[in-house]
Amino acid sequence: FGIAPVKKNRVYCYATENAPAGSFSDGLDKRSFAERFREFNGPVPAILDALIRDEEATLIHRDLADLYRAVLGFPESHVLLIGDAAHATTPNLGQGAAMGMEDAKILVSLLREFESIPQLIRRFIELRQKRVEMIRSRSFWLGKINQLENRALRRLRDTAFRCVPEGTAERGLIALLLEPEMI
């Protein structure tokens, strides 16, 4: 369950649950949603109560999906894809918008450098493919690890996370930052 403030007295919240694809095709009403996630502590129960009372609040359900491999473009067809159109990924690292902005920044610099669209697209793919795949893969596996259902594996995961030396997680996050040569 995640919470992000959007403006005074308004929040955006999201929740994930292991379930077969399409399980909520009939929709999910606010009360049922609140009951599913009431077990969380902190501000979650109060937010769920406010959700039920707020007539303007809406629920949007989407099954999580991950592209097996990013498709950034087709040079021969003069087609370049950026952002989620090229590399939609699971939300576990929260990098979707950032990757779209990185794509845009690189595209702008390449537009100044190349007159040939196929060459521009090839260079864009060359510059972005490795990073996009790294972030897509890390997000996918982090989701798998966080959504473990087996109790023994969850205990093992939680113990392993507690044993990670200080600074290791920070070094992992640094790899998500914009690479210096891309600035």
Per-residue pLDDT tens digits for 141-160: 888 898 898 999 999 999 99
Question: Across residues 85-97, what is the average pLDDT?
Answer: 84
- Answer yes or no: are the C-beta atoms of 15 and 34 closer than 8 Å: no
What mean pLDDT comes out for the span 151-176? 84
- pTM equals 0.72
Q: What mean pLDDT value characterizes the chain?
A: 85
DSSP structure class, residue 70? -
Check pLDDT > 60 for residue 180: no
Instruction: Name the more confident of 120 and 179.
Output: 120
Looking at per-residue confidence, does 40 or 20 come out higher? 40
Q: Burial letters for 123-147: b for 16+ Cβ neighbours within 10 Å, e otherwise?
A: bbbebbeebbeebbebbbeebeeee
- DSSP string over 76-108: GGTEE--THHHH---GGG--HHHHHHHHHHHHH
Q: Residue 49: is its pLDDT beyond 80?
A: yes
Report pLDDT for 68.
61
pLDDT at 26 over 70: no
Q: What is the pLDDT of residue 183?
A: 44
